[in-house]
Chains A and B, each alone.
Chain A
């Protein structure tokens, strides 16, 4: 058996180990590779940054713990930015399995910013219906969410003063890991009730959302952990996403090298077999 053949039949667990080490070592010993800010992430940041104090900002945390590594840092960064700008934050989720995580994210960030529940922000929780909840909120927010996550009647909350439906929202961002998510917020929300919309999503979903970005249907897109790291850099409050960027770059490099080596071995073996006359040209 030739060297190329042996390498192509290598135990896959060795490859897992290599990828594992390439991820673990940069996390333990970060080098701080530079992070370039993309225009799509800047779109969300700039819009929030220019909102006047007291504007109504809606953040829909449409994900569950399975997408936490990518969307949790995005949510934390956006909330920190919104609280820093003294916006009135309305948080909610369209994913029942993400309710607890969303509550934890909002409460933790609000506590850190010294914001008061009901006055500066509200977490509405989850309401059944998926995309239909957006339509319901577009007609009457209090009908979709009669009470917040802590069972306080939403009509009595100072943070919602003057807010009757989605037309009263200045800016909305959906951090989505699937459906319902960013697309649903565009189709049933922005397109009908005419508020500005930004998006955040997992890396898997990002290519599918670029057409919405290009056509101006969303004004910015935060894609995956990379997008979260860019947002953390923009608000100058580095967290888990920036910490993970060295590992991300290293693993990508390792994968590129592995793909190149595998192809090299594959073509070497193919040439050997052709010389031996075992396969046709």
Chain B
């Protein structure tokens, strides 16, 4: 099946830029710099165009011109005050815009964040350590795999208390306090380990993503860009190394 020209071209560009970026693993070189600068430029250009189209055209000009929604000029004027930062004598006007943004932002975010992250999390941390059955007996669930088990509830309680104690510096961590603080460190280390493990997984996923695309673009229907551009990248690196024209990254 013949692929459209733009798909093939996209495949060649994606392959080339991927290989140029990966060439940094060998050493810093102009191919990497080219791809890096293209990435920054293209993503910024894309953001500017999309923002202009959505904000200025769709949300401001069209409603004003087509529907006569002149009230939109109020937020436009507040936003325009930001631009007075470029005129030193009128820069004070931008404070009104900042005050508006900070005030609205804080007003919206603070109560919602307290409710969602502090109150809800405290509510979840303070759980019953035992359950009372309808016949008046007491049950205790031991499963470590069940997040709602009573054993996990105790582990979370110990973890929260010991970590909070570790960050409580008004009391010397000695005697029993030292033991609690040490337990806090253990919980913190486990948490950092889990986070780092997930980070490694995420980074490997990105590598898998790029390699999957390189394999896809090695197909004859694309003209085998992976093969040709790999050879080109390797040849360029050899030439650059021999000429001694590669430089270490500037500090």
Contacts and interface: CB of A to CB of B under 8 A. Distances in A.
Interface of A: 13, 16, 19-20, 23-24, 27-28, 64, 68-70, 96-97, 99-100, 125-128, 131-132, 135, 146-147, 151, 183, 186-188, 191-192, 202-204, 206-208, 211, 214-217, 223-226, 240, 243-244, 247-248, 251-252, 255
Contact of A243 (B51, B58, B212): B212
A208 B9 CA distance: 39
B202 A147 contact: no
Given A207-B195, A224-B205, A147 B58 contact: yes
Contacts of A211: 121, 124
Contact of B210 (A69, A97, A203, A243): A69
Given A23-B204, A244-B208, A187 B112 contact: yes
Nearest to A245: B208
Contacts of B51: 96, 128
B198 A203 contact: yes
The 10 lowest CB-CB distance pairs between A and B, nearest first, are A69-B209, A203-B202, A215-B124, A225-B205, A244-B208, A203-B201, A187-B116, A204-B202, A203-B198, A251-B204
B123 interface: yes
Contact of B108 (A100, A135, A151, A224): A135
A41 to B, nearest CB: 14
Interface stretch (B42-50, B132-140, B238-246): B42-50
Contacts of B116: 183, 186-187, 191, 217
The A interface, classified by DSSP as helix, strand, loop or mixed, is helix
A64 B47 CA distance: 11
B58 A146 contact: yes
Contact of B113 (A127, A187, A206): A187
How extensive is the interface on chain B, given as a class?
A: 35 or more
Interface of B: 25-26, 43, 46-47, 50-51, 54-55, 58-59, 63, 108-109, 112-113, 115-117, 120-121, 123-124, 147, 191, 194-195, 198-202, 204-212, 215
A244 B205 contact: yes
A155 to B, nearest CB: 12
Contacts of A68: 209
Nearest to B200: A255
Contacts of B46: 97, 100
Contact of B201 (A127, A188, A191, A248): A248
B117 A126 contact: no
A252 B201 contact: yes
A23 to B, nearest CB: 5
Contacts of B205: 69-70, 202-203, 224-225, 244, 248
Given A97-B46, A186-B116, A248-B204, A206 B210 contact: no
Q: Most A CB atoms within 10 A — which of B113, B123, B147, B204?
A: B204
Nearest to B198: A203
Contacts of A132: 108
Contacts of A126: 50, 54
A211 B117 CA distance: 9
Nearest to B43: A97
